[in-house]
Structure 1
Amino acid sequence: MSSQERETDVVVVGAGPTGLLLAGDLAAAGIRVTLVERRLRRISNLSRAFAVHARTLEQLDARGLADGLEAKGRALRGLRLFGRVTLDLGALPSRFRHVLVIPQYEVEQALLERATAAGVTLAYDTELLGLTQGGDGVTVHAAGPDGPVTLRSAYLVGCDGHRSAVRRAVGLPFPGRSVIRSMVLADVRLAQEPADLLTVGVRDDAFCFVAPFGDGYFRVIGWRWGHDVAEDAPLELEEVRAIMRQALGTDHAMIDARWTSRFHSDERQVPAYRTGRVFVAGDAAHVHSPAGGQGMNTGLQDAANLSWKLAEVVRGEVAGAEAESLLDSYHAERHPVGRVVVLTSGGLVRAARARGLVSRALGAGIGLVAGHVAPARRRAMGIVTGIGFAYRRPRGAHRLVGRRAADVPLVPGASGTRLYEALREGRFVRVVPSDGGGALPAAGSREAGWAAGAVVVQRADGDPTALLVRPDGYVAWAA
């Protein structure tokens, strides 16, 4: 069979939430994008993610998607950690002072519609076989429904999950370990609906999480420590019932299941998010326990960080050493965040399964501090919700540089009435004080170049601080 050859600017491998957001951002910025997906075109309901945290909602808001998803999901205003502590999210400094409980497939559908509208070329039923990269681009070899496919692009991003073919193709190690060797998943009907929107229980060496799909079925995730079973072993409904009863004290009169499965959970992270012209993001770069519900959220924020940087470079707005530095900043900024998420989600599991008097006392002590000491509580909320992450700022820079930009109110205009509406244009936003003045970045600096092409808006809160906000909602410069 003859090979189909195609030219594009960026190849994105993997059409999950991370790949869809990244591809949609690039296409909206005028970049030619081909999205390669091994699966047939469909949105699977076999997803593990149900929680969209505040920082992710802000990123979706900057793309005009948050309000639509909020209408389909349900808001949860508190999070329970360690099985002992509830964090009140009403104190979050965000428009979204809650966790949105919504199945991952709803998020994927919204991102797919956006990517399609932006002009992403979708290549479903296409499997990556290998790749080579050189000084001027990447060549992808794949198998499509009509035979071999060759794609040539400037850059490639692997968003293809924990078994990433991209990661293997560039020889990236994935060091780490299994933290939960045998976890059960089931979509079940319950005759007795749980009282809480999200139900989490840890008791007698068992854990159980229950979340609603909204169609009468509930996703159950659970495990029993020390009960390790092969992933291909049959899963009967009675085993799911037993885990739920052990962890929650009731099986909520479970009726039947439309789907059951087993899987294991690892803690792993690649040492480098960039290898030449190839990047990895989401589960291809880091995996961790489901505690805290941060998996999909961290991947989406990886994509938001990388997309505008790739767009700047591909469009030629930065070049040479400056372009390399900008692309390297993806790893420099996101690898530490991934590391914290791996450690904290693993810590939640270890605290929940603490053994012995000393271990249980330590877990209880951590829970007490996180629940009742204000700085620790804010830190815990900031990590879990993503609101608290900041990137390293240059020496001597304003204290706001590298931090998440607050959704400041704006004088009404063409770009909206608040900052995250202005960010929907996908460009830098220059926020000037209410008097219309304000300082500018130093002439000749990279920030000055960004400011020159920025959307200019006027803040309406009386704060005299001038800001230059990156397309991903972080502060690039302030005065």
Structure 2
Amino acid sequence: MNRLDTDVVVVGAGPTGLLLAGDLAAAGVRVTLVERRPPGISNITRAFAVHARTLEQLDARGLADELVASGTPITRMRLFGRPSLDLSRLPSRFAYLLVTPQYEVERLLERRARSTGVDFRYGTELRGLSQDTDQVTAEITGPDGTPTTLRARYLVGADGVRSAVRTTLGLPFPGRSVIRSLVLADVRLTEEPEDLLRVNGVGDAFAFIAPFGDGWYRVMGWNRARQVPDSEPVDLDELRAITRLALGTDYGMHDARWISRFHSDERQAPSYRVGRVLLAGDAAHVHSPAGGQGMNTGLQDAANLSWKLAAVLRADAPDPEALLDSYQGERHPVGATVLRSSGAIVRLAMARGPLLRTARALAARTLSSVRPAAAKVMGMISGLGIAYGPEIRRVPDLPLREGRLYELLRAGQFVLIAPEGTTPRLPDSAPTSPARLVRATWTDPARRTALLVRPDGYAFPAGR
């Protein structure tokens, strides 16, 4: 085999690609990150919400506290005029929804990726790819338009809804547009909303307002009576009118720093892996912005995939193919669930007619009064309730003799928690070596069992 240029090519320097590349480089893997955009992070961004499980993943990389300082934590979500969800009940150190612009997430992840040695190639576009049993060859053009190739062991497409990687593979992206002519903007308000997170729908329109905490607000609106192509001009007057229709007031919004019109699709690739090429984030799945789960789902894709690729590349995996296939097995069902849940939320927001609106009111009332129902919904939206089967479940941030679990996970390695004075044996199927293992001790001497925690904070089943 010819000498490779790098171990992994990551296409796309959004949040998903940045986290994945940073993880791999921190694990000693050579990573080249290819991004079509020129250098510099734009603040023109749609994502604004970071959920509890994503904050836990960022905590395991030493980034969560700094990100929290950049935004506004929200502990209550009022849906359709009713106080429906109390996020302070979430079983996490991060019992809230953090409202912060996507560029703050990207800033931290890019800084980390650079510090771990990722080779950035901005202004570089993927033109094609081929693969065989040993390597992937990416055909790229650089900033000056000169074509060249990059040879790697693996390639990951994290290049968004119009993914060149997915298109080149010939993978379908089945689904449909669920809602057209959404208007999105960052604005200032003369009047402060009565709730930090404000959302309501009246049948012909819905609107959403959330604060960034620095005087700017993210506003999204939709008007059933104005369904026009994305290319149609949009201005602040249109958004003001939508907000007045849905919320009864526009809160004196002014000085939009950006505004756009877009449509929302529900789509998912049937496979996240084709040989040595994998997909993550919006390249693999895209759904409505309801619930703010898009960026979060992509970041959790990256957290799931990065340690598996690293284990395969370091020859730590007893069964490399099975480990890489488990990425599809674990994350594809999550993507499908997010499509269903976000689609249900947006359909409730668009409800028209007395029966549907009564059903929406009943759903909101149930969430505000029935704790098990609220806990299930909050677990799904926050990501804390995601499990990969009965044995592979999220492990909370346990206090241990050596410190918090998620502080120990910052080494990017498996953590073996055991009773004091014991040295339990690793399961034969564990894709790690004793030399790359963090050992920890229960604080409670009554605990006599051992627990092996994966680098992404999920339990590793002993019988696997």
* 1:398 alignment partner in structure 2: none
CA deviation string 1:423-446 (max 9, x = no partner):
00000000112x33375445xx21
CA contact (8 A) 1:57 1:96 kept: yes
Q: For residue 474 of structure 1, what is the amino acid of its counterpart?
A: Y
* 1:89 alignment partner in structure 2: 87
Q: For residue 50 of structure 2, what is the amino acid of its counterpart?
A: V
CA contact (8 A) 1:465 1:478 kept: no
Q: How far apart are residue 217 of structure 1 and its match? A: 2.8
* 2:343 alignment partner in structure 1: 346
Q: Secondary structure at the match of 2:85?
A: strand
* 1:261 alignment partner in structure 2: 260
CA contact (8 A) 2:317 2:432 kept: no
User: Do the aligned partners of residues 97 and 312 (structure 1) sit closer, same or farther apart at CA in structure 2, a change above 3 Å counting?
Assistant: same
Match of 2:448 among 464, 469, 474: 464
CA contact (8 A) 1:430 1:451 kept: no
* 2:127 alignment partner in structure 1: 129
* 2:74 alignment partner in structure 1: 76
* 1:331 alignment partner in structure 2: 328
CA deviation string 1:116-155 (max 9, x = no partner):
0000000000011111111111110111113112110011
Unaligned ranges ≥5, structure 1? 394-400
Q: Secondary structure at the match of 2:270?
A: coil
* 1:436 alignment partner in structure 2: 421
Unaligned ranges ≥5, structure 2? none
CA contact (8 A) 1:408 1:461 kept: no
1:360-439 equivalent positions in 2, closer than 5 A: 360-393=357-390, 401-412=391-402, 417-433=403-419, 435-437=420-422, 439=424
User: Do the aligned partners of residues 159 and 422 (structure 1) sit closer, same or farther apart at CA in structure 2, a change above 3 Å counting?
Assistant: same
Distance 2:244 2:110 in 1: 38
CA deviation string 1:282-313 (max 9, x = no partner):
11111111111111100000000000000011
CA contact (8 A) 1:441 1:448 kept: no
CA deviation string 1:390-426 (max 9, x = no partner):
0025xxxxxxx300011111113xxxx1100000000
Distance 1:95 1:161 in 2: 30
Q: For residue 336 of structure 1, what is the amino acid of its counterpart?
A: P
Q: Secondary structure at the match of 2:228?
A: coil
Q: Does 2:165 align with 1:166?
A: yes
CA contact (8 A) 2:7 2:153 kept: yes
Match of 1:13 among 11, 32, 44: 11
CA deviation string 1:332-378 (max 9, x = no partner):
00001111111000001112222223322322332333332222211
Answer with 134-143 or 450-459: which moved more. Answer: 450-459
Q: Secondary structure at the match of 1:405?
A: coil
CA deviation string 1:137-187 (max 9, x = no partner):
111011111311211001111111111111101011111111111111122
Q: How far apart are residue 201 of structure 1 and its match? A: 2.3
CA contact (8 A) 2:236 2:254 kept: no
Answer with 198-207 or 268-277: which moved more. Answer: 198-207
1:262-301 equivalent positions in 2, closer than 5 A: 262-301=261-300
Q: For residue 201 of structure 1, what is the amino acid of its counterpart?
A: N
Q: For residue 187 of structure 1, what is the amino acid of its counterpart?
A: D
CA contact (8 A) 2:72 2:98 kept: yes
CA deviation string 1:211-249 (max 9, x = no partner):
334443322211112421111111122111101111111
CA contact (8 A) 1:441 1:477 kept: no
CA contact (8 A) 2:135 2:276 kept: yes
Q: Does 2:417 align with 1:446?
A: no
CA contact (8 A) 2:99 2:212 kept: no
Q: For residue 359 of structure 1, what is the amino acid of its counterpart?
A: L
Q: Secondary structure at the match of 1:334?
A: helix
User: Do the aligned partners of residues 348 and 83 (structure 1) sit closer, same or farther apart at CA in structure 2, a change above 3 Å counting?
Assistant: farther
User: Do the aligned partners of residues 197 and 338 (structure 1) sit closer, same or farther apart at CA in structure 2, a change above 3 Å counting?
Assistant: same
Q: Secondary structure at the match of 2:183?
A: strand
Moved over 6 A (4+): none
CA contact (8 A) 1:288 1:341 kept: yes
CA contact (8 A) 1:54 1:385 kept: yes
Match of 1:455 among 411, 416, 438: 438
Q: How far apart are residue 317 of structure 1 and its match? A: 1.7
Distance 1:99 1:342 in 2: 20
TM-score, length-normalised on structure 2?
Answer: 0.95
Q: Secondary structure at the match of 1:238?
A: helix
Q: Percent of counterpart pairs with the same letter? A: 61
Distance 1:93 1:286 in 2: 27
CA contact (8 A) 1:49 1:293 kept: yes
Q: For residue 192 of structure 1, what is the amino acid of its counterpart?
A: E
Q: How far apart are residue 83 of structure 1 and its match? A: 4.8
Distance 1:282 1:174 in 2: 13
Distance 2:431 2:413 in 1: 14
TM-score, length-normalised on structure 1?
Answer: 0.92
Q: For residue 400 of structure 2, what is the amino acid of its counterpart?
A: L
Answer with 90-99 or 161-170: which moved more. Answer: 90-99
CA contact (8 A) 1:391 1:402 kept: yes
CA contact (8 A) 1:282 1:299 kept: yes
Q: For residue 14 of structure 2, what is the amino acid of its counterpart?
A: G
RMSD: 1.8
